[in-house]
Amino acid sequence: LYSCFASSVACWDAHWDIYCPILLQLPETGRKMASLSDDQGQSTAPDGASLGDQGTSGNWRAKHAERKNARRDRPPKAATPNTPAPAPSIAGSEYGQDDISKKFDKHEAIIKQKARDLENLQRALEKKKEDLEEKEAGLNKRFNELRELEKMLDGREAAIIKKEVELQEKESKLSLEKEPSKHRENRSKEGVYDMEAQKADIEKVYSRMKVMEQREFELRKLLKDLDMGWVLGAGRAS
């Protein structure tokens, strides 16, 4: 029932400008019809038009068309609280062309700044890569030099050991030559050597070997540190 009533009210509201003049003119039309019957159809309307012209269907159709065109040309009604307000146009005051241009220029400036920052970062990374390559080349050169030094020390160590053996042989010969012939003959016969002299020679060679081992240990530690630095430098460069 409520829906039917609402539909009726909406229909009357939509066509009120058509129905209202008709309802208002009904009493006057009745009076005019009565006078027309009395005057045998020769009465005129107040505005000078004949009643037959006002009552014809064609005249009402023309007036209805005029009202319809007037409603069509009428500006739209203001938005009620129940109907959502129309979305603002792009050309409106809030989103005008100037605002769009300013926002576009702002975003364009931000993008250009980020591009410049990326270019600077790329150049810095390339410079860092070149520095690491130079450091790697220097480490490789130093590593090769230390390898050569190790080989040279190994050769010197072998030469020192050989020289020590030769000195021991010479010392043993000189000690035999300085001893009396009797003792030398007894020693040669019995195969007995001077244990004190032999012990001193052994201690001397042992001390030299200790020194060489200490130098070798230090050299190998240095080479190990350089190997580790080279590996870390290569890892950072990659």
Q: Taking a C-beta distance cutoff of 8 angstroms, is the pair 51, 36 a contact? A: yes
- Residue 220 — very low, low, confident or very high, per pLDDT cuts 50/70/90? confident
Residue 232 φ/ψ, nearest 5 degrees: -65, -40
Please tell me whether residue 50 adopts helix, strand or coil conformation.
strand
Question: For residue range 22-74, what is the model confidence (pLDDT) as tens digits?
Answer: 666 666 665 666 565 555 444 444 444 444 444 444 566 777 777 777 777 66
Alpha-carbon distance of 153 to 212, in angstroms, equals 9
Distances (CA, A) of 23 to 28, 30, 32, 67: 10, 11, 15, 16
- Residue 160 — very low, low, confident or very high, per pLDDT cuts 50/70/90? confident
Q: Over range 177-182, report the average pLDDT.
A: 57
Euclidean distance between the first and the last CA atom of the chain, given in angstroms as a whole number? 83
| The residue type at 24 | L
| The residue type at 149 | L
Tokens read off for 143: 């590593």
What's the confidence (pLDDT) of residue 122?
Answer: 92
Question: For residue range 84-125, what is the model confidence (pLDDT) as tens digits?
Answer: 555 554 444 445 567 788 888 889 999 999 999 999 999 999
Q: The dihedral of CA 66, 69, 75, 76: what is its sign?
A: positive
Q: The dihedral of CA 64, 65, 66, 70: what is its sign?
A: positive
Distances (CA, A) of 104 to 23, 87, 101, 217: 61, 22, 5, 70
Tokens read off for 112: 């250009």
The helix, strand and coil proportions of the chain, stated in percent and rounded to the nearest 5, come to 80, 0, 20
Residue 90 φ/ψ, nearest 5 degrees: -65, -30
Alpha-carbon distance of 29 to 54, in angstroms, equals 10
What's the confidence (pLDDT) of residue 54?
Answer: 44
Q: Taking a C-beta distance cutoff of 8 angstroms, is the pair 172, 202 a contact? A: no
Please state which of the ranges 45-54, 55-64, 178-187, 189-198 shows the lowest mean pLDDT: 45-54
Please state which of the ranges 58-62, 78-82, 195-199 shows the lowest mean pLDDT: 78-82
Residue whose tokens read 């005057």: 39
What's the confidence (pLDDT) of residue 118?
Answer: 93
Q: What is the pTM of this model?
A: 0.29
Chain centroid to Cα 187, Å, comes to 91
Highest mean pLDDT among 113-122, 140-149, 224-233: 113-122
Q: Over range 228-232, report the average pLDDT.
A: 56
| The residue type at 200 | A
What's the confidence (pLDDT) of residue 238?
Answer: 46
